[in-house]
Amino acid sequence: MSIKATVVTFQDFFKHAQNAVRKEIDRSIDDEDMLYALEGGKMLRPAMLLLAFHACNGKENDYKNALESAMGVELAHSASLIHDDIMDGDNERR
What values do phi and psi take at 43, rounded to 5? Answer: 60, 35
Q: What is the largest CA-CA distance in the chain?
A: 47
Q: What per-residue confidence (pLDDT) applies to 3?
A: 60
Contact 89, 69 (CB under 8 A): no
| Segment 18-67, tens digit of pLDDT | 888 888 888 888 888 778 777 777 888 999 999 999 889 999 899 999 99
